Amino acid sequence: MTAQFLVAGLGNLPMPLTRHSVGNLILDSLSSRLGAHLVMDKSMGGYYAETTIDVAGSTVSVGLFKPKALMNISGAPTAAALRKTAHQPSSLLVIHDSLDHRPTALSPKFGGSAGGHNGVRSVISALKTNDFHRLRVGIGRPENSVVDYVLGRLPSFERQYWSPDGPGIDLVLQHIENLLLKR
């Protein structure tokens, strides 16, 4: 079975549970919720699982991908995963952190610039297009050092919110289902 839609969660694997790795956390929680075990796929350069989601009575095959590469160079493995699965950039959803949104807020976007996000910039560069879906996950903006803030540990409330049984994963799944309905 080849996935018809790919969901990629960006982050830094060596720094789990940090604000910058909230995309990885959400991908892990989606994997757990959907019963899809992520396994390393060297040809893609990351961890991959495939599952199905029922959307309005139709079953859609969905790939879940977590790049092994660090955030700022996650574009090449994400592009490799897309080539092996859903093929079209419009069949890709990238989940990543956003300083411009309050903690736990979700903000969907299609196309446009990277908005200063180096992980998204890397994906755009590797795909040679910005025509893919994004789900920006709010982490808030600090008053001082952005680097220290994004690499800081997620507060326990946010970790719980994005856990497999947390309300945030319900919202993420709802967003994915809405995207699949529009295809």
Q: Which residues are catalytic?
A: 20
Residues present in the chain in total: 183
Helix locations, 43-145, DSSP H: 75-84, 118-127
Interstrand relation of 46-55 and 92-98 (parallel, antiparallel or unpaired): unpaired
The upper half-sphere exposure of residue 74, i.e. CA atoms within 13 Å in the direction of its Cβ, equals 27
List alpha helices for the chain, DSSP H: 22-34, 75-84, 118-127, 146-150, 156-161, 167-181
Strand duo 92-98 + 106-110: pairing: unpaired
